[in-house]
């Protein structure tokens, strides 16, 4: 159990450090319906993490991709290598997208409309950012392979799966909780956090993708 939790914490942190979901929840908390839209976004985000994780684990078990620790599966090794390379390449892409010296980071166009989303649309945005975003999806699959490799029972997998979702969701849930507690004092810090995250998004994500990609690639090459 502890080894399974240890295996999924790094990919969960990789998702947790994604700046744009945090920026999205900040914008929703600055919208006309902050509580409803923020809660809906968090729900969509969590569902968008959990469903692909469960599906990927089921596929890995059905196809025997995971394999026990003592006899690594060649299929798992190939999948890890592919995911590792893809994450590294995504990191290179994000690094090349970083603002040049003296330039300011450009805010993605879709963020300009986030604060006008209804709670239902905020729910859909949470699902899209966690379940459809290529980087989040690749990291989630890597976490599912790590869990499948432990050969824990379906019941035992509930705990590490929950840990994965909780760790990956903390930076998204924390602003909502803070807003619920101190809504009258939270707006200025949220605005500053949004500005900093947008300015440093490319560098943060490039480093995170390289670290996680290298770790996944190394595991795949070692088992191949």
37-51: pLDDT as tens digits? 999 999 999 999 999
Which 8-state DSSP code applies to residue 83?
H
pTM of the entire predicted model: 0.76
pLDDT at residue 39, as a whole number: 96
The whole-chain average pLDDT of the chain stands at 83
Mean pLDDT of 186-195: 79
CA distances from 80 to 17, 36, 46, 84 (A): 21, 39, 24, 6
The proportion of the chain whose per-residue pLDDT surpasses 90, expressed as a percent, equals 26
> Which residues, in sequence order, are CB contacts of 22 under 8 Å at separation 6+?
171, 172, 175, 193, 197
Stretch among 8-22, 127-141, 206-220 having the lowest mean pLDDT:
206-220
Q: How far apart are CA 166 and CA 146, in angstroms?
A: 17
197 or 96, higher pLDDT: 96
Residue ranges per structural domain of the chain = 2-223
The answer to whether residue 190 scores a pLDDT higher than 50 is: yes
Per residue in 53-62, pLDDT (tens digit) is 999 888 877 7
């Amino acid at each position: 159990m502890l080894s399974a939790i240890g295996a999924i914490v790094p990919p969960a942190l990789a998702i947790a450090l994604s700046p744009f979901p945090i920026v999205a929840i900040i914008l929703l908390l600055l919208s006309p319906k902050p509580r409803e839209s923020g809660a809906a976004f968090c729900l969509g985000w969590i569902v968008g993490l959990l469903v692909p994780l469960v599906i990927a684990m089921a596929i890995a078990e059905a196809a025997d991709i995971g394999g026990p620790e003592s006899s690594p599966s060649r299929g798992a090794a190939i999948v890890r290598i592919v995911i590792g390379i893809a994450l590294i390449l995504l990191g290179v892409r994000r690094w090349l997208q970083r603002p040049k010296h003296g330039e300011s980071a450009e805010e993605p166009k879709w963020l300009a409309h986030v604060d006008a989303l209804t709670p239902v649309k905020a729910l859909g945005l949470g699902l899209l950012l966690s379940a459809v975003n290529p980087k989040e999806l690749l990291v989630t699959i890597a976490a599912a392979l790590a869990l499948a490799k432990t050969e824990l029972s379906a019941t035992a997998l509930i705990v590490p799966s929950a840990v994965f979702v909780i760790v990956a969701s903390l930076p998204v849930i924390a602003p909502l909780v803070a807003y619920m507690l101190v809504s009258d004092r939270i707006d200025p810090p949220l605005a500053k956090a949004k500005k900093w995250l947008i300015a440093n998004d490319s560098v943060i994500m490039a480093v995170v993708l390289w670290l996680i990609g290298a770790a996944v690639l190394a595991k795949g090459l070692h088992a191949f």
